Amino acid sequence: MKPSELDNYIKWLPAVGVFTLSCLTSCQVPTSMNSNDSDYIMINDSASVFKENYEPVSEEEQDRDLSIDETIGGFLSEAVETGVRESLSPAAERAANSGSVYLDEWWADSHRDPMLNVKGKAVGMQLDEIYTRTLANSSQVRVFAALPLIRETAIDEAKAEFDPESYVESRYNFTDEPTGSTLETGSANDFFRERGWTMEAGVRKKFLAGTEVVVAQDLGQKSNNSEFFIPGDQGNARLRLSVVQPLLKGAGAKYNRTMMQIAKLDAETGYEEFVRQLETHLMEVNRSYWALYLARAMYQEQKNLVNETRGVADELAARGTLDASSSQISRTQAALASREATLVRSELAIMNSESRLRALVNDPWFVTGGIGEIIPSDMPMIGRYVPDFETMVDAALTYRPEIRQAEKHLQASDLREAMARNEKKPTLNLLAETGLSSLRGSGDTGGAFGDQFQDSVPNWGVGVMASVPWGRRAEKARHLRTELEVRQMEDQLRSTMDTVLLEVQVAHREVSTAYPDMKAKYKAAKAAEEELAVLNNRRGLDVQEGEALYLEKLLDAQERRSLARESFLKSLVVYNSAITNLDRASGTLLQAEDVGVHRDVDEDELPILRLTKDEAAKNAIASYALK
């Protein structure tokens, strides 16, 4: 910014500060929207949002993490080389350095008065307050914020596989079958009749090493009509401990921890998706805010044009047949009608822009507070912003949620590949079981239960179980699929970085180009304004062409000035949105807007992510200090 431009800007700051403070106090932002709590954290940090975060544990996970860092570091070096060529053309540089943009009344202040014939009060709102109310009230933002919390539930679901489980199984049996041998009941042509019940209760648990342990107590009663069943009515009890330890397939903490690690990565991926969607939403809020500013400024300019055109039309009509032809009068009337129609459309553009902004913010205060018209009170930025390309790329590779998502997808694919590699191994399990058992007559199950711990000698057994499918085609296919997915995710990470680099390049170029474009169009608007001023000043002096023809020239000059001003206003809004879009492209939009997040619970005791922004209060204090 040149000294003359800076002096002019500073001249306006006290008025802007007073106006900003009055808007903030009149809008009365609820204090609950701002947070000074100790759990307030920047939104790009999910450490205090989740109960557990992913940390590489195994050597393979750590190697992959290091490999990703090296890939990103190498890409940054390549990207910086491409940024060396990022520079303005001589023509654009001349436009950027020529003249100054001043806070002229026709585009800076004239649109701040109420314009719409609607019920309710008009309220001036800064962009920071719009952001604050969006974060606190938008239903769409709440939809985004629910995603990581939903994904987080998979972590406990994966850990639950290793929770102890209590179980009870009970059954009553009755048998009535014809006998085929006297050895069954001791009598020929008889029926074997047996009845009884069994119950098994115990605890089973799987450990991180893959070991499955069961401690169970079996109880039962049995009686039948066989002469060889002694005693005749039996009560039995058996206490047993069984252990199954995988030795190949499914063995080891690394394998059994994988699903928990994948669940953590999936939850963090959901969080990155939430950040991405939130940035996109705030970018739309930003564009809608400046679109409303543009619509109001263009409406005011169109209104001025209509008034000026009506003045020319009235003057031509008053001159009658003195020196104005009927065709000239008709042409002026047609221009007036066309410009009035454009004015009507301009008013519609204001209402549509405001409705879209209301829908994005979704604040019930707009209804309960009787807000009939929203007036953007922020001044567009007119100073030159020269971002450093290398800094923008470095930030994008660090903060862009798409890249962090691609990293986590690659890490998860690596974990799945390791699982599939383990599952190709043959099944080889070590089995061990020991227990105590006892038996009593007269159906004395309770007595049998007590005898277990007195006269019983432990019985035990060990063994192995092995199996392997012929060819192992299914296991090999699953492993091949996961290997292909790892390669795909490696390519996806590179592709994502390429896409992000392209977005940063385009956004960086847009900011760099939008400024000289805005300066050039401001210069064109000033030239058109000066042309119109010269024509107005020479009214009555140039009589060679006649007053009627002179008024036609005035009409055309008004049109050129209006088009030039509208073109400048559009370029001004594009420049301001481009600056915000560059923050989004570099992944720093939420940091730049000081958006924070903390975990809380709602009225139903369900977890919720609350988004906060302190910038509105900070701006009010800063504006007050300018007085």
Residue 45 has pLDDT above 80, yes or no: no
Q: Supply the pLDDT for residue 624.
A: 36
Which stretch, 101-105, 141-145, 454-458, has highest mean pLDDT?
A: 141-145
Report which of residues 33 and 474 the model is more confident about: 474
Q: What is the DSSP letter of 31?
A: G
Give the tokens for residue 63.
């190697």
Contacts of 99 (CB under 8 A, 6+ apart): 519, 522, 523
Q: Do 490 and 392 meet the contact criterion of CB atoms below 8 Å apart? A: no
- pLDDT digits over 17-26, tens only? 333 333 333 3
Mean pLDDT of 273-292: 95
Residue recorded with tokens 């790009």: 44
Give the tokens for residue 240.
């047993």
Distance set, CA 200 to CA 167, 168, 219, 242, 606 (Å) = 8, 6, 6, 14, 38
Please provide the average confidence, as pLDDT, over all residues in the chain: 83
Quickly list H helices, 219-252: none
Q: Supply the pLDDT for residue 308.
A: 83
Residue 177 has pLDDT above 60, yes or no: yes
Residue recorded with tokens 């564009």: 287
Q: Supply the pLDDT for residue 82.
A: 67
Q: Supply the pLDDT for residue 325.
A: 67
Residue 255 has pLDDT above 90, yes or no: yes
Residue 254 has pLDDT above 50, yes or no: yes
Q: Do 570 and 295 meet the contact criterion of CB atoms below 8 Å apart? A: no
Pairing outcome for strands 607-613 and 595-601: antiparallel
Which stretch, 295-304, 441-450, 454-463, has highest mean pLDDT?
A: 295-304
Q: What sign for the dihedral angle of Cα 401, 405, 71, 41?
A: positive
Q: How is the chain split into domains, by residue range?
A: 3-138+255-415+480-625, 160-206+211-249+427-467
**Percent above pLDDT 90 for the chain:** 46
Mean pLDDT of 449-463: 83
- pLDDT digits over 382-413, tens only? 888 888 888 899 999 999 999 999 999 999 99
- pLDDT digits over 137-156, tens only? 999 999 999 999 999 999 99
- pLDDT digits over 334-372, tens only? 888 888 898 889 889 999 999 999 999 999 999 998 998
pTM over 0.85: no
Neighbour tally for 392: CB within 10 Å: 25
Contacts of 239 (CB under 8 A, 6+ apart): 216, 217, 218, 435, 436, 437, 452
Residue 616 has pLDDT above 50, yes or no: no
Architecture of the CATH domain 3-138+255-415+480-625: Up-down Bundle (1.20)
Contacts of 377 (CB under 8 A, 6+ apart): 19, 20, 23, 112, 124, 125, 126
Report which of residues 222 and 444 the model is more confident about: 222
In this prediction, residue 441 has a pLDDT band, given cuts at 50, 70 and 90, of confident
Q: Supply the pLDDT for residue 26.
A: 35
